[in-house]
Amino acid sequence: MSSTNTISHEIADTLRDEILRQRYRSGDRFPSERDLAVRFDASRGAVREALSQLEQLGLIHTQPGGARVQSVNAASLAVLGPLMALDGYPDPLLVDQFLQTFGVLTAMTAKNAVNAASPEQLIQLKKLVLELADHSDDFEAMQPRWRELLEAMSTIADNLVVRLISNDLKAQFVDQMMKLGIHPKIERSSIDQLLTGLRVGMNKQDGEIAGQAMQNHFQELRAAVGEAIKFRDKEPSIRAVN
């Protein structure tokens, strides 16, 4: 489920999940606002606000005369989080797709950041990599530094498109994975390879090298996370269907 505790959000969450679960076929008529108000024992205003959210997600399209359900494939990026959380634990395939995508974008960011960095920024980046190296034996301790490095590179690369995409992806995936306590086992050698690649790239100010190192790292991360999910206790998710 999502965040807030208002009625309209609860209605929106419930309906969103129902659509994501394919309870309605794409193109189907969506129940009328008045019917939904009765069903949720709420006012039509609250229902309307919920539908407004669903429309923003691209899950329904409303028109005078009635609303219709749209294809999940045509939805907004913001449905990824709810989609992944549908069954309580993430769909391994979806996680893999996320990591591949996030990896490509992060590699691009690293490349651009290294290429565009000013001398001072380059020093800052190197420092962050060094700090990362100091904690390369503790996965947990690495996380804050890792985030810091990504943030710094993102700032330097200064690509708003990627930043906005990453906002959505991170908000929906990374936090979710953390919450679920998925700890990928990454080979020490893989991390060393990444750090070395980043360092070399920064020293030569060659973004290609840094980007390639990042890309390779995500490749390994994909495998590691896949393993971690596979062996995870799949607690049966308790979810009211209403």
Residue 53: partners with Cβ closer than 8 Å, 6 or more residues away: 8, 9, 12, 16
* Numbers of helices and strands, H then E, in the chain: 11, 2
**Quick check: 33 binds DNA (CB under 7 A)?**
yes
Q: Which is nearer to DNA, 51 or 83 (CB)?
A: 51
Using CB under 7 A, which of 3, 25, 27, 63 touches DNA?
Answer: 63
**Quick check: 49 binds DNA (CB under 7 A)?**
yes
16, containing H or E segment: helix 7-20
Q: How far is the CB of 68 from a second copy (least distance, A)?
A: 15
Q: Which is nearer to DNA, 8 or 112 (CB)?
A: 8
Cα Rg for the chain, rounded, in angstroms?
A: 21
**Quick check: 79 binds a second copy (CB under 8 A)?**
yes
**Lookup: tokens for 47:** 């229902």
- Please, how many CA atoms are within 13 Å of residue 60, restricted to the half-sphere of its CB? 26
**Quick check: 190 binds DNA (CB under 7 A)?**
no
Residue 216: partners with Cβ closer than 8 Å, 6 or more residues away: 193, 194, 197
Q: Which is nearer to a second copy, 102 or 133 (CB)?
A: 102
**Quick check: 163 binds a second copy (CB under 8 A)?**
yes
Q: Which residues bind a second copy (CB under 8 A)?
A: 8, 45, 48-49, 52-53, 56-58, 73-80, 83, 94, 97-98, 100-101, 104-105, 108, 159-165, 167-169
